[in-house]
Amino acid sequence: MFRRTFQPDRCAPQGEPVPTEPFQNPADDSADPVFDQEQSHLAETYAKLQQIGRALVRKMERAQREAAADKKAMAEELAPNFATYADAMETYADFAAMNRVIDGYNLAQDADAAELAKVELLLKQPYFAKVALQFKPGQEPKELYIGTAGISDENYRRLVVDWRSPVAETYYNQDNGRTSYVADGRTITADLKLRRQFDIEEDRLNAYFDTTVAIQDSLLLASLSKQRTAQMKAITATIQKEQNTVVRHEDVPVLLVSGIAGSGKTSVLLQRIAYLFYQQRGSLDASEVFLVSPNPVFSHYIASVLPDLGEHNPESLTWNEFARRLLPPNRGSGDVDVSLAALARIDRAVESFEFDANDFKDVRVGEKRLIAADQISKLAEKLGRIPAGPHRITLMREELHARLESRLKQMAGTDEALDELEALEADEQLRIFGEFIAPTDEQEERALALRYLTDRYADAFAAVENDAWLRIDRIGMRLLETDGLAPLEWLYLKMALTGLGNPDAKYVMVDEVQDYTAAQLAVLARYFRRAHFLLLGDPNQAIVPDTATFDEVREVFQAARGAVEECRLMTSYRSTPEITALFASLLPSEEQLQVSSIQRADEPPTVRAFGDDAYADALHAAVAGARAAEGLAAVIVPWKYEAKRLQALLGDDAPPLLDERGELPESGIVLITLKLAKGLEFDHVIVPDASPRVFPADDDLARRRLYTTLSRATRGIAVLARGALTPLLEGAAS
Ligand SMILES: Nc1ncnc2c1ncn2[C@@H]1O[C@H](COP(=O)(O)OP(=O)(O)OP(=O)(O)O)[C@@H](O)[C@H]1O
């Protein structure tokens, strides 16, 4: 066992790019009563956790046995009798009573299973910090151990306090002495007598750190000195003060976070989701939270963070996935830019609009017409007193649904349907009915025919529900007097006309918000019309042309939700001070001053231009060096065709190209386009060609692409250029 007690004497003040000393391990084995005390407290807590876990397992096994026995007894007692109406009612009541008993068992089992999951989580690391709070002068300070989840023993004594509980804020505030937190709307003040951090694995205490200076965070330094992994990690134990402001931010309609590369935006976003789940436990469901992320590789990269925190993952979707679900097939994914003015024009046009007879189309499946367009038009006329818009469309949709059902009922009695039913293959019967069918009378046969037709014409029901009977293009072209709608105009018009959207979403988190156009954001704001938004991004990482500036982001969300609150994150936790200085050199000078890095220093970046002859050798050497180094390396190219060029040049030496469906390996080297590398990080990065051809000096988009590329590196970076080096990196050449 080794012990570490580390008190760094230097901290990085805000706004000054000063690296902090690397984490040190003095391997001090001399007797330390505090260490021994904490180790025995840990052993005690660990044993209690095991005891709670074992008791829960026993309780769940017992409940399962009792449930099975009860169910058996009730089923035996149950004598289904449908002879008369009264008998049938009594039978139903018996069934309902049995179901209630089973539901009761299930509910208790679910609660115990959730508690057991907490215990299992805590057994990996029971807690990571302790605070001693004195609430009144002269009073004994109260010691609280803070962990990933909260748990009490059988006497309701708190063993571990959840990191999201109000009192745990005193740990994240990083204020020694007078501090406060808010619980149930009340501000509670206390004296923070001790703030102790722990490095713990299961029941083993590796080290503890007492932090006395507000900004120093030994655990953070220790955590940052560990190697990057193929999956993102939770930062629960080391959330920094500025990050905590976002994580615990009051629930506002829109929170916009702008942060430099590596400042923890994505980490903070995931911690905030976990925080919201805790705060609204029992009322917020994972299906009500959406995470809009840049690409599928990124979704995979972050997928394990929330489960590691004991929470469910919300639905994660890319813009393309979102748009493709809503747009008609072959319509693209709405990445063609449309101005906000064009969307405003749609809103205005819809205000005073009436259908005309040709605005509708048949509801068909294949050749079969189930509802004719002129019937729909007549229905629209019949409801003409209601303004043409979401309310009228909802009534029409309900009516069309009813008409479709009665049409199928009528078809179910025809010889044609009954013949089709009889001719059904065995596997089709199993798929539709879950069993082989052998109707014994006409009534049963008709009922089966109706189920068969409902299955066969399922697309018609979907068309009714999706309002596919509306000719959105035609309506839009007439209203806007154009000869075609862009995909986003189509979608926006459909939302305005029909009320299409998800009113149940409570939170929508958009990472890399700088990569969306203003119109895309307006669509998201309207689609998730009741949701609160958390938007995170970095204006300097806008690498796609025509995307929204932060001013436009504000404009869109102010219009949609009234107000936008903002936070900034200016410290890089990802990159060494040298790499941070390299990418920060591409920022406007007033911003450069505010950027700092917390990481320890490592190998200095290499930035070199090579003549044509030497270039290929230099590239081979850089790839070989990165391949041999520890961790994961990436050769990042701006576009796919640059990847092809590189593969041709490197031949067998070329690293494998990661595609949209790929996953990051644990180690080795990959070739990746910037579009996919966004949001990810690598121990070593190679920029294969930083020449003016790839990164022209007078091009702001190129500057941001270079900034984004360089800032993917955590420890080492090699920048090569074929011919000359881009003037953007002037002064950086090594
Ligand atoms: N408080 C923290 N404690 C430990 N590690 C942290 C902390 N904050 C951030 N990190 C680490 O810093 C790295 C960068 O974090 P993250 O990817 O969340 O930043 P980002 O702002 O989203 O970056 P970018 O915008 O460049 O993609 C990650 O490895 C993350 O684990």
Residue spans of the domains in the chain: they are 33-238, 240-327+501-569, 360-470, 577-729
Q: What does residue 177 show for φ and ψ, rounded to 5 degrees?
A: 85, -140
Ligand 1 atom nearest the C-alpha of 712 is 26
pLDDT value of position 213? 52
**Residue with the nearest Cα to atom 15 of ligand 1?**
264
pLDDT value of position 691? 96
CA separation for the pair 64, 512 (Å, rounded): 47
240-327+501-569 with 577-729: one CATH topology? yes
Distance of CA 404 from the midpoint of ligand 1 (Å): 53
ipTM over 0.95? The verdict is: yes
Q: What is the mean pLDDT of each run of 10 residues along the chain (734 residues)?
A: 26 31 42 92 96 92 82 74 70 74 75 90 95 93 96 91 95 86 91 92 92 63 68 86 94 96 93 95 93 85 85 90 89 78 93 91 94 96 92 96 95 92 88 86 89 95 95 94 91 95 97 94 96 96 92 96 94 90 89 76 88 93 92 94 93 91 87 91 95 93 96 94 93 69
Ligand 1 atom nearest the C-alpha of 267 is 18
Distance of CA 281 from the midpoint of ligand 1 (Å): 26
Cβ count near 729 (within 10 Å): 22
Report the CATH fold assignment for 577-729. Answer: Rossmann fold (3.40.50)
Distance of CA 283 from the midpoint of ligand 1 (Å): 29
CA separation for the pair 714, 683 (Å, rounded): 5
Distance of CA 680 from the midpoint of ligand 1 (Å): 10
End-to-end alpha carbon distance in the chain: 43
Q: Are 728 and 566 in contact (CB under 8 A)?
A: no
Taking CB atoms and a 6 Å cutoff, what residues make up the pocket around ligand 1? Answer: 220, 223-224, 233, 235, 238-240, 243, 259, 261-267, 538, 541, 573-574, 679, 681, 711
Ligand 1 atom nearest the C-alpha of 541 is 25
**Residue with the nearest Cα to atom 25 of ligand 1?**
261
pLDDT value of position 216? 58
Q: Are 503 and 285 in contact (CB under 8 A)?
A: no
pLDDT value of position 17? 32
Instruction: Return the amino acid letter for 29.
Output: D
Distance of CA 267 from the midpoint of ligand 1 (Å): 6
Is the C-alpha dihedral spanning 261, 263, 264, 268 positive or negative? negative
Mutate to test the pocket of ligand 1, among 574, 579, 599 (most ligand atoms within 8 A of CB): 574
Residues within the annotated binding site for ATP? 259-266
The top-level CATH class assigned to 240-327+501-569 is alpha beta
